[in-house]
Amino acid sequence: MASSESVVFQGFTVLPMKIEEKSTCLHYIYVKEHSIRDTHQCKPKGRTLFALNVPPYCEEEHFKEMFASYGTVQRVYFHSKPTSGLPAVNTSAFFPTAPVIQGYKVAYLVFKKASSVKTITSLPYDKPLIMHKDGGHVIDTGLSKWVRQYREDVVDTEALQSEIDKYMEEYDEKIQKEIEEAKANEGIADDDGWVTVTKYGKNKGAPRTEAHEKALTRKEKKRRKDKELLNFYSFQMRETKREQIANLRKKFEEDKQRIALMKASRKFRPY
């Protein structure tokens, strides 16, 4: 199909694209102006282009090259599905927290001018976009891609140790701050009369008094005594159950003998 006019399908403009000028295979993306009720400041209304069916190998630099003649692309956001917010960002270089987008994705392109979005949504169908031009951002494929991925998987131990040390330092500072705040607020009543009680005491680590030691000793003796009594009663209950079973068996045998004697002493025999 060839047309000098734009092709619109269900509100999306169909744009053919190919990797290089000499490529014969075409891929199609579907674009329209990003316009929803709940907009985010990162995707301003009028200047944001929404794209569907974006291939996995398409990166931010490729979009900037493809649309360079139609306006300046300030930012490109990739998502696994349409959303109004920002994509998740990894806070660590070694412990990823953001999910990796697998397969095809959607993209939001923020242009410098709103006129760029209007122009792109009116592009003709018979003029494919070129992802990689001479001197542009090369698509990493084949052996070079595998080599790059292998090198990225090699962990820099010094950088990893530095990140761990920084994290532990920030964590210790956070815990120490919580302890200090808890100590400062402990025993102080709020507006409703409630008193804050925490696991951090103001006299934490203070030496025990003689009265305190005696109280702990009495408590430990009581705990041991209760444990011994509990074991004793458990043993006694088992013995009681055994005696009850033995008495029931003895009574059962006596009843059997009594019934046998009654049957033997019957005097009425009709036959």
What pLDDT sits at residue 187? 62
Burial zone of 267 (CB within 10 Å; 0-12 exposed, 13-18 middle, 19+ buried) = exposed
Please write the tens of the pLDDT for every residue from 10-67: 999 999 998 888 888 899 999 999 988 777 788 888 899 999 999 998 889 989 989 9
pLDDT in tens, 184-200: 776 666 666 676 666 65
Structure confidence at residue 201 as a pLDDT band (50, 70, 90): low
Alpha helices in the chain (DSSP H): 60-66, 114-120, 142-153, 157-185, 210-264
Amino acid at 113: K
User: 108 in helix, strand or coil?
Assistant: strand
Closest C-alpha to 76, from 135, 29, 28, 133: 29
Q: What's the rounded Cα separation, in Å, for the pair 77 and 73?
A: 11
- As a whole number of angstroms, the distance between CA 59 and CA 78 comes to 9
Q: What phi and psi values does residue 126 have, to the nearest 5 degrees? A: -90, 10
Surface-to-core class of residue 119, CB atoms within 10 Å of its CB (0-12 exposed, 13-18 middle, 19+ buried): middle
The Cβ of residue 240 has, within 10 Å, a number of other Cβ atoms equal to 10
Residue 197 is encoded by which pair of tokens?
Answer: 């009680």
Q: Count Cα neighbours of 178 within 13 Å in the Cβ-side half-sphere.
A: 8
**DSSP one-letter code for 35:** -
pLDDT for residue 19: 86
Confidence band for 2, pLDDT divided at 50, 70 and 90: very low
pLDDT digits (tens, 9 = 90+) for 130-166: 887 766 666 777 788 888 888 888 888 898 899 899 9
C-beta of residue 41 within 8 angstroms of C-beta of residue 161: no
Provide the residue ranges of all domains of the chain, joining segments of one domain with +. Answer: 7-153, 165-206, 217-264
